[in-house]
Amino acid sequence: MGKMNIGMVGMAVMGSNLALNMADHGFDVACYNYTPDLTEKVMKEHPHEHMHGFYGLQEFVDSLEKPRMIMFMIMAGSPVDYMLEKLLPILEPGDMVMDGGNSFFEDTRRRHELAAKYGVHFFGVGISGGEKGARLGPCIMPGGNREAYEYVRPVFEAIAAKAAGEPCCTYIGGDGAGHYVKMVHNGIEYADMQLIAESSLLMKYAGGMSNQQMSEAFYEWNQGELKSFLIGITADIFAERDDMGDGWLVDMIVDSAGQKGTGRWTSIQAMKQGVNTSMITAACNARVMSNLLEERAALGESLAAGLNTVDAGEDFLEDVRRSLYAGKIAAYAQGFALYRSAAEVYGWQLDFGRIAAIFRAGCIIQAEFLNKITEAYNRQPQLANLMLDEFFLGKIKENLASLRRVTAMAITLGIPVPALANAVQYIDSFRAGQLGANVIQAQRDYFGAHTFQRKDRAGSFHHQWQEHYKG
């Protein structure tokens, strides 16, 4: 047996699927798992001429051609530290360790520093597309040393999803850049999912539509400018019958959403960087609210009375579609604004157009309009906000009235639409000439002499504010 091209640590479903994908492309993959029985199981269940199981770490490392390339597909957090600490002393300078999990990018930066002490290149590799993507073609976001990337590039480009023949993989930037980009991808994913969920609430409770009609509407929307993986699966979801009873499966699922943390990380990180990602935050909070099942049941009854009704009207469904599209633009605008800020804060040379291009296939947020995002950044590589681009500005103008109408209707009817409402607020914050910040500056100066700037002259001013209403 010759030397293996690449090593995979972690034989759970993501790791074994990715290893199989590599093997299908002719790469000899050394497979290792912390508990050897899992490796044995995978070898038995998926025999492949290019996949070989190794049961000791040293034996696994020795099997690899140099410089060694080792990929982790293990749980984010302490398991990554544990494996890295085990491996570093037995690797050689120039070897590479790549973490393909959803690790927090600051952890990746720290591990990058640690590995560098051994001359080992540590890569944080964002991988999107779930189990199926891993097996058949994910979207890959590698971050680490630029030169070292060239070694693994042929493997990643071979196994990645393809969009218009191009691999959905590109070198992202130094140290934690790959994991950062994946984190924000997930933040956008949260907002996108929330927007779709809100649209379904509107269809059902304002439009009185049946699941079948909703499924058809999503299917229809998926043929046009809203075409995306998430809309496509939602069309399927509403068409699915309950396999354990009558009716529809989606209606039997408890109205309480889980989250593993990447959306929340995005939101916290955006706050730290001073970037408004209100729709991602709204989507996180919507999941938090969904978990309060008892409180919702208790307050639901006492707050339900007295809601108005409105006539959904003829154009209702088209209005919802347009709202969803406008909301989606705002969500991506927020996510990409965060990328732009991160490039400055962390000194990464992020290519925003390329990032949008690799999102076109393989990943969860793959969507038709990502081409338009790439085109926008081709027109202006340093575009401050997507909505400043002529195409997206045009689309916002075209759909804003619908977004406003639908959001107002939802509020009148008492249907919670936090992502849509935040989209309106985000757009209005750009649009409205005054945000009330002058009042805030006056208050800050009043109670804390924080000073303010004037419209008519340069400099900082403090005013001796008078108590006009004493006593």
User: Shortest distance, CB of residue 260 to ligand 6PG, whole angstroms?
Assistant: 4
Using the minimum distance from each CB to ligand 6PG, give the nearer residue, 189 or 389.
189
Tokens of 118: 């051994």
Q: Of 70 and 184, which has the nearer Cβ to ligand 6PG?
A: 184
CB 130, min distance to ligand 6PG, A: 5
Find the binder of ligand 6PG among 364, 367, 376, 383 (CB under 6 A): 364
Which residue in this structure is represented by tokens 């690799």? 358
How far, in Å, CA of 55 to CA of 37, rounded? 9
The least CB distance from residue 189 to ligand 6PG, in Å, is 5
Catalytic residues, by residue number, are 182, 189
Q: Which of 193, 406 has the CB closer to ligand 6PG?
A: 193
Question: Could you say whether residue 186 binds ligand 6PG (CB under 6 A)?
Answer: yes
CB of 222 to ligand 6PG, least distance (A): 19
Minimal distance, residue 430 CB to ligand 6PG, in Å: 28
> Which residues, 6+ apart, have CB-to-CB distance to 77 below 8 Å?
103, 107
CB 406 within 8 Å of CB 198: no
The residue within the footprint of ligand 6PG, chosen from 211, 215, 262, 281 (CB under 6 A), is: 262
Restricting to residues 43-102, which ones interact with ligand 6PG according to CB under 6 A?
102
Using CB under 6 A, pick the residue from 189, 192, 198, 445 that binds ligand 6PG: 189
Report the nearest approach of ligand 6PG to the CB of residue 255 (Å): 15
Q: Is 363 in the site for ligand 6PG (CB under 6 A)?
A: yes
Site string for ligand 6PG, 200-219 (x = CB under 6 A): --------------------
In the complex, least distance from residue 441 CB atom to ligand 6PG, rounded to whole angstroms? 38
Residue among 80 and 396 whose Cβ is closer to ligand 6PG: 80
How many residues touch ligand 6PG under the rule CB under 6 A: the total is 13
Q: How far apart are CA 82 and CA 88, in angstroms?
A: 10
Residue 197 binding ligand 6PG, by CB under 6 A: no
Site mask for ligand 6PG (CB under 6 A), range 148-167, x = bound: --------------------
CB of 121 to ligand 6PG, least distance (A): 24
Nearer to ligand 6PG, 68 or 264 (CB): 264
Q: Name the β-bridge partners of 209.
A: none
Pick one of 260, 379, 454, 463: the residue that binds ligand 6PG (CB under 6 A): 260
Residue nearest to ligand 6PG (CB): 128
Positions in 119-148 near ligand 6PG (CB under 6 A): 128-130
d(CA 278, CA 334): 8
How far is the C-alpha of 289 from the C-alpha of 267, rounded, in Å?
16
Stretch touching ligand 6PG by CB under 6 A, among 5-13, 211-219, 257-265, 374-382: 257-265
Toward ligand 6PG, which CB reaches closer, 383 or 419? 419
One-letter identity of residue 324: L
Q: Which residues would be at the binding site for ligand 6PG (CB under 6 A)?
A: 102, 128-130, 186, 189, 258-260, 262-263, 363-364
